[in-house]
Structure 1
Amino acid sequence: MTAILTLSSKNYSSWSLRGWLLCRLAGIDFAEEMVPVDASTRAELLLLSPSVRVPRLTDDAVSVWDTLAIAGYLNEKYPEAGMYPVDLVQRAHCRAIAGEVHSGFYNLRSALPMNLRVRHESFKIFSGARPDIERIVEIWQDCLARYGGPFLFGTKPTVADAMYAPVATRFVTYNVALPTAAAAYRDTIMAWAPVQEWIAAAEKEPDEMEELEVEF
């Protein structure tokens, strides 16, 4: 039975992108099931109603939602995929920074909502988002210095890269100035083949889809 990944907007939903990248990292065959973002489902999505949890991975008898839960499940079922670093210390570091983006950076989410189809050349960034940007740059540069890049934990993408990929797209959308190393990592993520595939699909989404005002 082919696994099913339930997603919402490819243009606006950073969580959907994360879940999708995690499945690609695991190397599994899966079908996409899109939840339309319209007036009837939007409130459920934003409130994480029990009736709609996105992204959600359905794999035989397993139904798992929340990106870190999906990452944990896939890593347990497909350990050979190497979704986390092999080294214990690096693996703990990877989990820590993935957890940080999963639960934090709310000001960044609010000030720079994900939108893959637009570019703002001179967007005024809300001052409250600056500490979030500075912390993300610190995380990226620390990992790149420790592990040599081009991904956060070396030559191969991991769960951490899947979790930070939507942040890289935001930095492109809003033309956020970054130090050299962080900018190079942003470009690595934007050139990553699965991200390019996702962006191409996002560009084909109907124009009438309403932009989400709240991150979910």
Structure 2
Amino acid sequence: MAEAQLTISNKNYSSWSLRGWLLCKLAGLDFEEVAVPIDDPSMRAELLLLSPSFLVPCLSHNGIKVWDTLSIAEYLAELKPNSPVLPKDVKKRAHCRSVAGEMHSGFYNLRSALPMNLRAHYPGFKVFHGAQADIDRVAAIWRECLAAYGGPYLFGELSLADAMYAPVATRFLTYDVTLDPVSADYCRSIMVWPAMEEWIAGAKAEPEEFEELDVEF
């Protein structure tokens, strides 16, 4: 029996589920997935609201329930202090928390205009002005971190920050977003992260009868 359970929703669309799942993998937690049924109205609500803390992911461990992605990250860092969830150096750790928090609470235009869809690809997609400002800020964060800590991940080794920005890397590829060479290389590093490859394989194996999301982009 697994040590913990992680409740997630649709792998193809739910960026918050992906973040929580990656964090559990980073922590080395023995967990099993509990998927919200595809026809459950709560799953659709979570996707449409683009919410970081609506219903999923939710971690259950030793009678404790933790929801909201950053709360899960902090819980895992306490539970598995030797894991790479948070950098060991205090300066790096503070920086990591800051860029992760910015992703958690910001970039609404990017999320709305470029929803995660791992099975899709839209060559030549036209990004509206508001989303482009978010894209530019994400790329600036990536370049700053990669220059400061040497890559290939944002803080050298994989961390909370990479789990938070991994769904953004998939969006940039899905919507054919033009990136500077450093940011493009980072996207490639994220996409060959074995945990990402495992999640994407799971997303591609899901049924495709899920309706397109009826939100305005």
Q: TM-score range by the shorter chain?
A: over 0.9
Match of 2:74 among 68, 72, 75: 72
What aligned pairs does 1:63-142 form with structure 2 within 5 A after superposition?
63-142=65-144
Deviation at 1:15, TM superposition (A): 0.1
Which residues of structure 1 form unaligned runs of 5+?
Answer: none
Across the two proteins, how many residue pairs are aligned to each other?
Answer: 211
Q: Deviations over 1:136-171 (max 9, x none)?
A: 0000000000000000001x2000000000000000
Deviation at 1:39, TM superposition (A): 5.7
Deviation at 1:20, TM superposition (A): 0.1
TM-score by length of 1: 0.93
* Residue identity (%): 59
Does the CA contact (< 8 Å) of 1:37 and 1:210 recur in 2?
no
CA distance in 2 between partners of 1:26 and 1:144 (Å): 22
Q: Deviations over 1:46-69 (max 9, x none)?
A: 5699xx721000001110000000
Q: CA RMSD in A?
A: 1.7
User: Which residue identity is paired with 1:184?
Assistant: D
SS at match of 1:186: helix
Relative to structure 1, the CA distance from residue 47 to residue 108 in structure 2 (aligned partners, 3 Å threshold; closer, same or farther) is: closer
Which residues of structure 2 form unaligned runs of 5+?
Answer: none
CA distance in 1 between partners of 2:164 and 2:199 (Å): 14
Deviation at 1:212, TM superposition (A): 3.6
CA distance in 2 between partners of 1:119 and 1:73 (Å): 35
CA distance in 2 between partners of 1:3 and 1:212 (Å): 31
Counterpart for residue 54 of structure 1: 56
Which structure carries more relative contact order (alpha carbon 8 Å, separation 6+)?
Answer: 1
Does the CA contact (< 8 Å) of 2:42 and 2:55 recur in 1?
no
TM-score by length of 2: 0.93
CA distance in 1 between partners of 2:102 and 2:202 (Å): 28
Relative to structure 1, the CA distance from residue 42 to residue 4 in structure 2 (aligned partners, 3 Å threshold; closer, same or farther) is: closer
